[in-house]
Amino acid sequence: MKHILSMAIVMILISACAAVPQVVEVPTQPVDQPTPGIVSELATLVANTAEIDEVIVVTQSPPEDFFTRNGMTLSLPVCNGLTPPQMEGPYYTPDTPERNSLLEEGMAGTRLVLVGYVLDQDCQPLPNAWLDFWQADSNGDYDNAGYRLRGHQFTDSQGRYYLETVLPGLYSSRPIEHIHVKVRPDAGAEVTSQLYFPDQPVEGLTVMLEERGDYFVGYFNFVVQE
């Protein structure tokens, strides 16, 4: 009798385990231009999808090749005072999707990869800092009905962020290209600001640009009060 009960318990446990779905975390990627360095990993996952019941998309740490400039690794964060705040403007939309890439299939414009650190006032990297980006498209138009070219993310364990997007265009009431951003440390106050480009620089808020063939990499470190 004891033997029969033991076998019954084992069979119940086996059935319960078989019902638990396998969960695989997949790094985020652009729809039409996958981030270099994770394509082979994604291909392996796709080849084994028969064994996957659920896929959870998670924020991807910045690929290391984006953290080099002119062949030099950006291993030492640079900070020159707190990031100046600027107005939010009329086009902010809360509750954006969590994603590193704002690229969509068929989106016009020059690709931009924006990378950097979120640092405290002592120039120390801040993990898990929240950043929310929004911008106009290459024609200078904002999507105020949905979340096109809008998204938030969190810095990785080294305080780094990266954003894949397009260079914003001009619109009639604001003749200077810019990207809006909100930054909030894990235990600090929120800062709202804007980023600008070298052809129309703004002190303390200008992105360094490096051309890489048919796209640009921009570098900017946010310095906030924790």
* Residue-wise pLDDT tens digits, 68-113: 655 555 555 677 799 999 999 999 999 999 999 999 999 999 999 9
157 and 199 fall within a common domain: yes
50 and 78 fall within a common domain: no
What average pLDDT does range 119-127 have in this prediction?
93
Q: What is the pTM of this model?
A: 0.71
Over the chain, what is the mean pLDDT?
76
207 and 101 fall within a common domain: yes
78 and 175 fall within a common domain: yes
How much is the pLDDT for 59?
41
How much is the pLDDT for 80?
78
SS3 of residue 15 by DSSP: helix
50 and 66 fall within a common domain: no
With bands split at pLDDT 50, 70 and 90, how would you rate the model's confidence at 61?
low
What average pLDDT does range 6-26 have in this prediction?
41
> Which structural domain range is residue 118 located in?
62-226
117 and 47 fall within a common domain: no
How much is the pLDDT for 175?
87
Q: What is the CATH number of the domain that holds 86?
A: 2.60.130.10
73 and 34 fall within a common domain: no
52 and 84 fall within a common domain: no
50 and 152 fall within a common domain: no
50 and 80 fall within a common domain: no
Query: Cα separation of 47 and 24, whole Å?
Result: 13
What average pLDDT does range 136-157 have in this prediction?
96
How much is the pLDDT for 64?
61
What's the domain count of the chain?
2
Contacts of 209 (CB under 8 A, 6+ apart): 197, 198, 216, 217, 218, 219
How much is the pLDDT for 115?
92
43 and 73 fall within a common domain: no
Indicate whether 46 pLDDT > 60.
no
- In degrees and rounded to multiples of 5, residue 216 shows phi and psi of -120, 150
128 and 112 fall within a common domain: yes
- In degrees and rounded to multiples of 5, residue 79 shows phi and psi of -135, 135
How much is the pLDDT for 65?
60
Indicate whether 191 pLDDT > 80.
yes
With bands split at pLDDT 50, 70 and 90, how would you rate the model's confidence at 188?
confident
